[in-house]
């Protein structure tokens, strides 16, 4: 082998690694297949409905627990 063939063989390592990295990046990121959320998704704003009615007030740390907490049954919806 001449020195030109050796240099070509040595250059194949970094070139191959770069090509593999680029191919995996494109495959997992799907950069060419993603959509533009701002242009393609229409969200219509509506006026806020409801009211802020004060129910009760707890001052200080008199109560040890918050009513309706899910400490014991944490998989249950609150």
Outline where 30-69 has alpha helix (H).
Answer: 37-40
pTM, 2 dp: 0.36
pLDDT above 80 for 14: yes
Q: For residue range 26-42, list pLDDT tens digits in order.
A: 888 876 666 677 777 77
Say how far apart CA 6 and CA 13 lie, in whole Å: 12
Question: What is the pLDDT at residue 42?
Answer: 78
Portion of the chain with pLDDT greater than 90, in percent: 10
Instruction: Please report, in angstroms and rounded to a whole number, the separation of the first and last CA atoms in the chain.
Output: 74
pLDDT above 70 for 53: yes
Which long-range contacts does 1-9 make (Cβ < 8 Å, 24+ apart)? none
Q: For residue range 58-77, list pLDDT tens digits in order.
A: 677 677 787 777 777 767 66
Question: What is the pLDDT at residue 65?
Answer: 80
């Amino acid at each position: 082998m001449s020195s030109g063939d050796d240099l070509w063989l040595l250059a194949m390592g970094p070139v191959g690694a770069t090509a593999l990295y680029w191919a995996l990046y494109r495959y997992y990121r799907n950069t060419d297949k993603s959509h533009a959320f701002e242009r393609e998704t229409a969200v219509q704003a509506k006026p806020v409905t409801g009211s802020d009615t004060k129910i009760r007030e707890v001052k200080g740390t008199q109560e040890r627990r918050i009513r309706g907490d899910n400490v014991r049954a944490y998989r249950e919806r609150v």
